[in-house]
Amino acid sequence: MAIGTKELAPVELDTFDNEKLFEELKKAKEELFNLRFQSATGQLESHGRLRAVKRDIARIYTVLRERELGIRATPVVAVAPAKVEKAEKKTKKAKAAVESTDDAATEAVETKEA
């Protein structure tokens, strides 16, 4: 049986999106730091935990790298319909703002040329 945490099994890591993987990586690195600190001060009770956390970190890095290379597919996150509508409204507002800025810049250029 592989050493590591049950919640960070490779099958479970496949379901996480990249942001969630980076959060898990940050948590694992913090835990590794704390375990090393406990080991240095003689307070560490479970030395096997160090090895498990290191392997979890390696698993996360492996999944991220495989996704980067296209070996492993990034999971598609289903967006709720209400969120899609809000996102569309935001993009429409952003486009309108850019267009109004472009119009103002064009008018400014035309007045300088005249």
How far, in Å, CA of 87 to CA of 74, rounded? 21
pLDDT band, residue 57 (cuts 50/70/90)? very high
17-46 per-position pLDDT tens digit = 999 999 999 999 999 999 999 999 999 999
The CATH code of domain 1-76 reads 1.10.287.310
How far, in Å, CA of 100 to CA of 94, rounded? 10
pTM (predicted TM-score): 0.63
How far, in Å, CA of 60 to CA of 46, rounded? 22
DSSP H or E stretch at residue 17: none
Q: Which residue has the tokens 């990034």?
A: 74
